[in-house]
Structure 1
Amino acid sequence: MTPESLVRHELAGLDVAVEDSPNPDLVGVAGRVVDETMHTLLVATGEGVKQVPKADATFRFDLDDATVLVDGDRLVARPARRTETNGGSLWQ
């Protein structure tokens, strides 16, 4: 997985933090993605599992060798369909 291809991959298991959201209570929510739906990420935090809407939020994903900021609107899709879409790669 590369920073460029992150939005086409399964997000479960990745470390994430909410950088920006219209709901100020969600800014700063950080932990590990345990599941996702078409419109939400379920994030395991030290205070339990939080459900974070994807739309209108900005997420920071920490990969092994990079930090990636993603506009949540790019993630709004059924997870299986999002991973199948062509993100500009000739190999998918």
Structure 2
Amino acid sequence: MTRTPETLARHELVGLDVRVTAASNPDLLDIEGEVVMETTNTLHIERADRAWPARNDVPRDVRAGQRGATRRESEAVSPPRAREKLVPKAAAAFEFTLSDGQRVQIEGERLVARPARRTEHTGDSTWR
């Protein structure tokens, strides 16, 4: 089944571009980026303005930590998690961008469920 505006809430959200359009916490407004992880109650959004190199750009020996390297040196090459924001689904509304460029608004309440359980529902599902 292809992702359409009507069926988006029943699909996998990881990898989609998203923007928070409404939230009970004003600090969450206008967070945008890519969904990198989803839990029952939250979306983990990696902002596009991340300031670290991609995993493949860092040499393997540096990623693994060189022998004798101090903790401070190994922390220097670890990417900071500050660019990834945790947004509660129930307290926000989201605008997802599909691969064909369509933008779809979804209330977070419709997404509150285990991702695997939400995507397997058919028929009279509340997520339709």
Q: Taking structure 1 as the reference length, what is the TM-score of the superposition?
A: 0.91
Matched ranges for 1:15-54 at <5 A: 15-45=17-47, 46-47=49-50, 48-54=83-89
Distance 1:16 1:86, change over 3 A: same
Structure 1 stretches of 4+ with a deviation exceeding 6 A read: none
Equivalent AA in structure 2 for residue 52 of structure 1: V
Partner of 2:71: none
Equivalent AA in structure 2 for residue 58 of structure 1: A
Segments of 5+ residues of structure 1 without an aligned counterpart are none
More strand by share: 1
Segments of 5+ residues of structure 2 without an aligned counterpart are 51-82
CA–CA separation in structure 1 for the residues paired with 2:16 and 2:42? 15
Q: Taking structure 2 as the reference length, what is the TM-score of the superposition?
A: 0.66
CA–CA separation in structure 2 for the residues paired with 1:77 and 1:40? 10
Q: CA deviation at 1:88?
A: 5.0
The structure that has the greater radius of gyration is 2
In the TM superposition, what whole-angstrom CA distance separates every residue of 1:64-89 from its partner, at most 9, and x where no partner exists? 24110000000000000000112559
In the TM superposition, what whole-angstrom CA distance separates every residue of 1:41-63 from its partner, at most 9, and x where no partner exists? 00001251000000031100011
Higher relative contact order (CA 8 A, sep 6+): 2
Matched ranges for 1:77-92 at <5 A: 77-86=113-122, 88=124
Aligned residues: 89
Partner of 1:5: 7
